[in-house]
Amino acid sequence: MAISSSTYADINEGDSAARKIAVFLYRFRRFILEIVISFLILSFLFYWIAPDILYFFQLHLDQKLAFFGVMEPIVSLMKIACVMALGVLMPWILFRISQVLAMNFGLTRKFCIGLVLTALVLFYAGAAFCFFVTLPFGINFLLGYQSEHIKPVISVGKFVNFVGLFMLGFGLIFELPLVMTVACKLRICSYSLFKKGRRYAILVIAILAAVLTPTPDVVNMALMGLPLYILYELGILIARLESKK
C-alpha cells in the first residue's frame, strides 16, 4: 500500500513494521543527500593534504614506495582523501542514524547516543591498535624475506590498500562487545548463550586471527587474537549486566 506524504507523522506503538520502515526511509532521504554533499566537499579538501598523510604513513612504517601506472598515485591519493573524509563524517553520520532509529524504532535517545559514542571509540581504538602495533610487526616480518637477490619494491596503490583494509578490519572487529550488547538488548541472543559458546568463540577467534593478520606467525596472530578474546569476555560481562535490567 502506498504511503502519502501526509502519512508521515510520529510513529505509534501499534504501527506495522512495514510502515515503520517506510517512514524510516522517507526521513533518511534528506540525510543521505547531506552526507553525499558533505563527503564530496571534504574529499576535495583532504585531497590537497593527502600527500602529507601518505608521507606520514611511510615514515611510521619506514617504507619507500613506487608506482607502476600513470594514474596510480592520483588514485591512491583520492582513496586516502575519501577515507579521511569518511572518518571525519562518521560521528555525525552515526549520530543522525541514531536520531532516526530513536524516532522510528522506539529506542531511547540515551541508548542511541551511548551506542554511537561506544561504536566510535571501539572503531578508532581498533584502527589505532592495528596502525601502531600490528602493521609495524607484520610489515617487518613480511619484508624479512628479502635477500641479496630479492629486494622489495612496494607499489603505492597496494600499500594504501593493504594499510587501509587492515585498519578497517581491526576497527570493525573491535565492535564485537557492542554487537553482543545490542543483540542482548534486542533479545536476539542471551548472556547464557554467549557464555556457553565461549569454546566455539575461541576457535572462531583463532581462525579470524590466522586469516586477517598480515603474517602467519604466532606473534602477530596473538596480537590480534588476544585483544579479540578480551573484547569477547567484555561483551559477555556487558551482556550479563544487560540481562539483569
Question: In angstroms, rounded to a whole number, what is the distance separating the alpha carbons of residues 115 and 122?
Answer: 11
Residues 153 and 207 in one domain: no
Residues 165 and 182 in one domain: no
Which residue among 174, 195, 225 closes a domain? 174
Q: What is the pLDDT of residues 40-68, one digit of tens each?
A: 999 999 999 999 999 998 888 888 888 88
The answer to the question of residue 10 being in a domain is: no
Q: What is the pLDDT of residues 125-147, one digit of tens each?
A: 988 988 888 888 878 777 777 77
The answer to the question of residue 93 being in a domain is: yes
Secondary structure element (H or E) that encloses residue 36, with its range:
helix 17-47
Q: Count CA within 13 A, CB hemisphere, residue 163.
A: 24
Residues 94 and 119 in one domain: yes
C-alpha dihedral over 77, 78, 81, 85, to 10 degrees?
A: -170
Please state the separation of Cα 155 from the chain's center in Å: 25
Which domain does 30 fall in, by range? 15-174
Residues 202 and 220 in one domain: yes
The answer to the question of residue 97 being in a domain is: yes
The answer to the question of residue 6 being in a domain is: no
Residues 163 and 186 in one domain: no
Is 90's pLDDT higher than 90?
A: no
Is 200's pLDDT higher than 50?
A: yes
Check if the beta carbon of residue 123 is closer than 8 Å to that of residue 168: no
Q: For 127-230, where are the E strands, in sequence order?
A: 154-155
Is 12's pLDDT higher than 60?
A: no
Q: What is the DSSP string of 99-154?
A: HHHHHHH---HHHHHHHHHHHHHHHHHHHHHIIIIIHHHHHHHHHTT--SS----E
Residue 65 phi, psi dihedral angles, 5° rounding: -115, 155
pTM higher than 0.85 for the full model?
no
Check if the beta carbon of residue 214 is closer than 8 Å to that of residue 162: yes
Cβ atoms within 10 Å, residue 122: 20
- Cell numbers that stand for 185 in this block: 538488548
Cα distances (Å, whole numbers) of residue 242 to 13, 95, 184, 187, 233: 23, 22, 7, 10, 14
Residues 207 and 160 in one domain: no
Question: In angstroms, rounded to a whole number, what is the distance separating the alpha carbons of residues 100 and 34?
Answer: 14
Instruction: Tell me the torsion sign for CA atoms 126, 134, 205, 166.
Output: positive
Residues 92 and 207 in one domain: no
- Residues sharing a CB contact under 8 Å with residue 75, sequence separation 6 or more, in sequence order: 157
Residues 22 and 81 in one domain: yes
Secondary structure element (H or E) that encloses residue 65, with its range:
strand 65-66
Is 11's pLDDT higher than 50?
A: no
The answer to the question of residue 230 being in a domain is: yes
Residues 222 and 166 in one domain: no
Residues 152 and 50 in one domain: yes
Q: What is the pLDDT of residue 79?
A: 92
Which residue among 145, 174, 203 closes a domain? 174
Most confident of the ranges 33-37, 96-100, 192-196: 33-37
The answer to the question of residue 4 being in a domain is: no
Residues 154 and 211 in one domain: no
Which residue among 174, 190, 210 closes a domain? 174
The answer to the question of residue 145 being in a domain is: yes
Residues 186 and 170 in one domain: no
Task: State the chain's mean pLDDT as an integer.
Answer: 79
Q: What is the pLDDT of residue 9?
A: 45
Task: Give how many domains the chain has, as a whole number.
Answer: 2
The answer to the question of residue 68 being in a domain is: yes
Is 113's pLDDT higher than 50?
A: yes
pLDDT classification of 77: cutoffs 50, 70, 90 = very high
User: Residue 155: beta bridge partners?
Assistant: 66
Q: What is the pLDDT of residues 80-89, one digit of tens each?
A: 999 889 888 8
